[in-house]
Structures are given as structure tokens and as C-alpha cells.
Amino acid sequence: MADLAYDRAGSGPPLVLIHGLASSRRCWDLVMGDLSSDFTVYAIDLPGHGESDPIPGQTQTPATELALAVGRFLDEHDVTSAHLVGNSLGGWTALEAAADGRALSVTALCPAGLWEPLREPMSAIQFNRRAAVTTRRAIPTMMRVAPLRRTLMRAGSERAATVPYRVAVDAAYAQADARGFAQAHDGALHRSFERAASIPIDVPVTIAFGDNDRLLPAPRFQRRDLAPAHARWDVLWNCGHAPMWDVPKVTTQLIRATSRVSRQQ
């Protein structure tokens, strides 16, 4: 099995950043430097995303399988458990990895999986993927036009005008180039997060959704009864589906607060 591509920075307790569907480790660039002052931070590319190869022989890669890939990554780096931070599908993956016993704490930002199992593909995600593939050659030019950037990033960001140009370009390229998109997308259908009871009560869990998450809006996609009973649930104001873009300082504060609870226990 091919290793996952990753960036590493800082020193301290291990912390793993897990991106969402059709994204890459570049999505964490606005928070990685801050977090590296307190943690050894690993920003990884999930299988079939960024620079990581897809898992061979799979037509579907559910979050449970992605979590096992995260576990193998930890093993390769001699890490038994880590603070796990995930966005969207990455948040679901972090919860599954916690259920596997690999988490010191979990900060799940707008996590997928807290829903009744989806029977059909989500139209917004499919549209974004097609648009990125179709316009790939024009991405750098398109992202220089502020109104166009806001339109293209509207599904993910409430504050697209403040997202740096390089971050916006990298996000669009990640969508266009995700070789494992179909496997991960199809792996999310007909499933939900069902292992909340397997996350130990001494593993702090924070779940945070933006107040204007257009991809996973409440209440349909934010079912608290599917989250661990001991989870803290936060709403991030003036924020969309990508808190690490819209409110990066609030995001790092949330991660630190969750990890401190772990260290105090």
C-alpha cells in the first residue's frame, strides 16, 4: 500500500489534519503554522487525493476504510494515537479513526456522516467537481477575479473574498485532480457514522458547524443523535463549510481547547 503524502511541521503532541472530499492537505495552509507552535502537525492527503494514490482495487472507499489508512499512517510514524482534526469527509474519517482507538481528541469541522444515509449523489458536490475539471486550465485566471472567486467558492466558504488567492487556486486544483473522487464519493453513499458508542468517553470530541454551511445544512446533515453522547457541539458564526478558511483563528482555538481537555484528563 502506497504511503500517504504529507507535510510535517512543529514539535509536541502529534496532531493530524484530514481534509474532505475532493480536497487536499493544502486546505490547512492557513492554520498549520499556528498549530505547529504547540503540536507536531501532520497534514495528510487521503487516498486518491492530492499526491496520494488511490487504494487499488476499490470502487468504493468508505470513511471506515479511510480511517484505516490514517491508522496505517500513524503506525508508519510510530504514533499510537494523535489529536485528529478533520473537515467534512475528513471529519467523518476522524470520528471513525477515534472509534478505532487512534485518537487523543477529535475536532470534527462540519463533518459528513451525521445524516440519514444518502441514496443519491449530492448535486452541489457533483457540480463543483465537474466545474473544476472543465475549467482547470483557466483556474488561475478565474480566481484572480474577486466576484468570480466568491461565486466559485460559495458552496464552501462564507468569506470567500478573504480567502488568499493561492489557497483558492489550490482548492480548485484539488477538486479537479482528485483521482479517488468517485471511490470516496460513492463510499459515502448509503452510509452514515454509526460507531459513536465506540469512541471512549475520555477522548474529547468537538463537533463544529458553520452557521451557514450550504453543503451540509441543519437539520438534515447535522444530527446530534449520531454524534458521541459526550461530544461538545459548537456553531461557528459567519462561517461556511470550511472553518479553516473562514475563521482560521477560531479554528485553531477550538482545536487547542479540545486537545487541552484531553491532556487534563
Domain assignment present for residue 258? The answer is yes
| Averaged pLDDT of the chain | 95
Cα 20 from Cα 214, distance rounded (Å): 15
Is 1 a domain residue? no
Tell me the pTM: 0.97
pLDDT at residue 245, rounded to an integer: 97
Q: How far apart are CA 250 and CA 126, in angstroms?
A: 29
CA distance readout (Å), 225 to 213, 228, 241, 250: 19, 8, 20, 25
Residue 127's Cβ-count burial label (10 Å; 0-12, 13-18, 19+) is exposed
In a domain, 147, yes or no: yes
Count up the domains in the chain and report the number: 1
Strands 40-44 and 6-9: antiparallel
CA distance 247 to 236: 8
The residue-averaged pLDDT of 195-215 equals: 97
- Domain residues for 56? 6-264
Q: What are phi and psi of 42, to 5 degrees?
A: -115, 115
- Residue 162: inside a domain, yes or no? yes
Mean pLDDT for 194-200 is 98
Instruction: Look at residue 98 and tell me if it is in a domain.
Output: yes
Q: Residue 117: which CATH number?
A: 3.40.50.1820
